[in-house]
Chain A
Amino acid sequence: MNRLLARFTIWRTIFALLLAAGAYSAYLRVRYGLGGVTNLSDQFPWGLWIGFDVLCGVGLAAGGFTLVAVVHIFNIERYKPILRPAILTAFLGYLLVVLALLFDLGRPDRIWHPLVMWNPHSVMFEVAWCVTLYTTVLALEFAPAVFERLGWKKPLDWLKWISVPLMIAGVLLSTLHQSSLGSLYLIVPYKLYGLWYTPWLPVFFFMSAICVGLAMTIFESWHSSRAFGRELELPLAAGLARVLAVLLMTYLFVRFLDLEQRGALALLRENRTETWLFGLEILLLATPMLLLFRRSVRWNPGKLYACAVMVLFGFIANRLNVSVTGMEASSGTHYTPRWTEVAVTLAIVALGFALFRVMAKQFPIFEERHATPYRQMASSETRETEGVLVGVRNAT
């Protein structure tokens, strides 16, 4: 008991420290501007905050639209129990992306400008609109949980009435901006290294977003099962994992097909940082793909979880490769994030875990009737704290 308490306190302390470091960095950001807290430069204008917080953040939130499509549009009802947690993850994810943008934009007070000052030729303009609209859609998709909790019947009926067009809009908006994050880089053919630059970037970004959306849903189910003392919905998670394996295979196949078509395979023989980091990215995606084809892996919660985590890291490696690794050689400079950049990023991730926990406790996001009921309340308390702490640890 004491040991558990000690562990609990340690993780809580670390969480507090992360938030404090993030808050201090935020102060420095406001006080000294971007130059005071980042290692960004005229040669390297986008760093960790765009590469991780925005590109990865939006991708990791892709589970929301993927599951909405699966459950409500393709009407595969059995995945319903994990839909709401996925929507919550997505909603929080997008809110945190917007928060991260407030750090990264030179003039965060003008974040609304794209909504009134249009330039339809800009991919960024399209992304800004899609993210704004989709965050609204996610708020409405999550709203039923809030209204159920508050017992408001009327708004629930209204939401039900618009739910189908809303969900279709959500899937379309996601398709558009998940791919558009890749389109952002279409404009830099001579800057982005040949292993990543391809006219297919938008398609690859979209495919990998769906993969990571599924992996994130498995990841989040696993943590919720520990944090809230529930059984893991193993048949559902294993089902998603099977789809994930097939999608990963398709994704990796077209990635290599594209390399081959562009004659870029020869780049793999060059002994450079880019080659090794490309290898790492592929390894982190190919390994879980191979493993997930095995039934024994899919039906083992621990192994399944490990595979999901590998996919998450493979995805993160890909986005950082496109946004940082692949851009370095042509920039004529080196970029490593400053501690303040890392602190803000970690604080945002920690905040995500904390918010999920608070929201999941406050609102009915887990369906009681499908899931095994809560275990004895006595033991659930300790399990809860343990689960979230594991979550924070894994995230960092």
Chain B
Amino acid sequence: MPKAILYDSTLCIGCKACEGACADRWRLPYDDKIAAESRLSAHKLTTIQTFGERFSRRLCMHCVEPTCASVCPVGALHKTALGPVVYDAEKCMGCRYCMQACPFQVPVYEWHSRLPKVRKCDMCYDRQRAGKPTACAEACPTGATTCGERDALIAEAQRRIAEKPHDYYQRIYGLKEAGGTSVLYLSAVPFEQIGLRTRLPQEPLPALTWRVLSAVPNVVSIGSVLLGGVWWITNRRDAVAREEGGKR
């Protein structure tokens, strides 16, 4: 059963314990200065953002059909059966198409490294494989971030919305966005008010390029027959013209 994360913005108190736990897990530096940064970056793979009195969390969405994995020319990114989308730095050549293509603008780059890598949350793939919760979920003191199986978390989210309809905006973000994600959001207000992109297609994005790429074999086979045919006809015409010209 694929794993997922549920982030309930109404429960978040903005303590940033998840940020600290995430930095620890990746052995990244973490201090007040870094805590104050609101953007994802090569040294900050999850971040708490403030919108007035509300908070929101950013991290890799671990799409059900990840765009990054589909665009990567060397297959350095892939969706595991367990749910996390993981990255193999040994394959990556640094074309940064994943960063360009990600609908959630998540992957970040080590711009100042001489041997740079892409960086992003991997939903604690190693911990989850060992049956442990993600570092962020473990660290969260209020239960705003929880992890578990995607179906179970969706049911849980629906239960919360149904129980306290006045506290929640009546939708779950991540259910359908870009074909569905493994990070789900609940919020008291419409999602764009806590900085989430809502102008996203409901279908998985990889279909957009696959439609064209799957035509490649046809272009090659029909194209070569067509071009070969044109070549044969035009040459034959010339040969015939020469022949007839010679006879005269």
List residues of chain A with CB under 8 Å of any chain B CB: 30-36, 40-43, 45-46, 69, 72-75, 104-108, 110-111, 113-114, 117-128, 164, 168-169, 171-172, 175-176, 179-180, 183-184, 186-191, 199, 202, 331
Q: Which of A121, A169, A331 is B209 in contact with, Cβ under 8 Å?
A: A121
Tell me how far the C-beta of A295 lies from the nearest C-beta in chain B, rounded to whole angstroms: 27
Neighbouring B residues of A110 by C-beta, 8 Å: 74, 92-94
CA distance in complex: A121, B212 (Å): 10
Neighbouring A residues of B109 by C-beta, 8 Å: 34, 42, 45, 106
Neighbouring B residues of A186 by C-beta, 8 Å: 208-209, 212
CB-based contact B111/A41 at 8 Å: yes
Q: Is the interface of A mostly helix, strand, loop or mixed?
A: helix
CB-based contact A72/B231 at 8 Å: yes
Tell me how far the C-beta of A49 lies from the nearest C-beta in chain B, rounded to whole angstroms: 11
With A31-B114, A114-B93 given, can you name 19 additional A-B contacts, CB distance below 8 Å? A33-B113, A40-B111, A42-B40, A45-B96, A73-B227, A74-B234, A106-B94, A106-B110, A106-B117, A110-B94, A119-B74, A122-B97, A124-B97, A168-B224, A172-B220, A172-B223, A175-B223, A186-B208, A189-B208
CB-based contact B209/A187 at 8 Å: yes
Task: Please tell me if B72 contacts chain A, counting CB pairs below 8 Å.
Answer: yes
CB-based contact A33/B208 at 8 Å: no
Tell me how far the C-beta of B234 lies from the nearest C-beta in chain A, rounded to whole angstroms: 4
Binds A, one of B11-19, B98-106, B127-135, B185-193: B98-106
Neighbouring A residues of B208 by C-beta, 8 Å: 186-187, 189, 199
A327: nearest residue on chain B (CB-CB)? B100
CB-based contact B116/A34 at 8 Å: yes
Neighbouring B residues of A113 by C-beta, 8 Å: 73-74, 91, 93
Tell me how far the C-beta of B3 lies from the nearest C-beta in chain A, rounded to whole angstroms: 23
A73: nearest residue on chain B (CB-CB)? B231
Task: Please tell me if B23 contacts chain A, counting CB pairs below 8 Å.
Answer: no
Task: Please tell me if B143 contacts chain A, counting CB pairs below 8 Å.
Answer: no
Band of interface residues on B: 35 or more
Contact with A along B197-241 (1 / 0, CB 8 A): 101110001101110110010011001100110110011011000
Q: List 10 A-B contacts (CB under 8 A).
A: A33-B111, A41-B111, A45-B100, A110-B92, A119-B72, A119-B74, A124-B72, A164-B231, A187-B209, A189-B208
Q: Which of A33, A111, A175, A176 is B93 in contact with, Cβ under 8 Å?
A: A111
Smallest CB-CB A-B distances: 10 pairs: A106-B94, A35-B111, A75-B234, A124-B73, A110-B93, A125-B73, A45-B99, A119-B75, A35-B112, A117-B74
B236: nearest residue on chain A (CB-CB)? A75
Task: Please tell me if B140 contacts chain A, counting CB pairs below 8 Å.
Answer: no
A331: nearest residue on chain B (CB-CB)? B105
CB-based contact B116/A75 at 8 Å: no
Tell me how far the C-beta of B176 lies from the nearest C-beta in chain A, rounded to whole angstroms: 14
Given the known A-B contacts A75-B231, A123-B212, are A106 and B93 also in contact in the complex, defined by CB atoms under 8 Å?
A: yes
**B16-48: which residues lie under 8 A (CB-CB) from chain A?**
39-42
CB-based contact A117/B75 at 8 Å: yes
Q: Which of B110, B206, B219, B231 is A176 in contact with, Cβ under 8 Å?
A: B219
B212: nearest residue on chain A (CB-CB)? A183
Task: Please tell me if B108 contacts chain A, counting CB pairs below 8 Å.
Answer: yes
CA distance in complex: A30, B114 (Å): 7
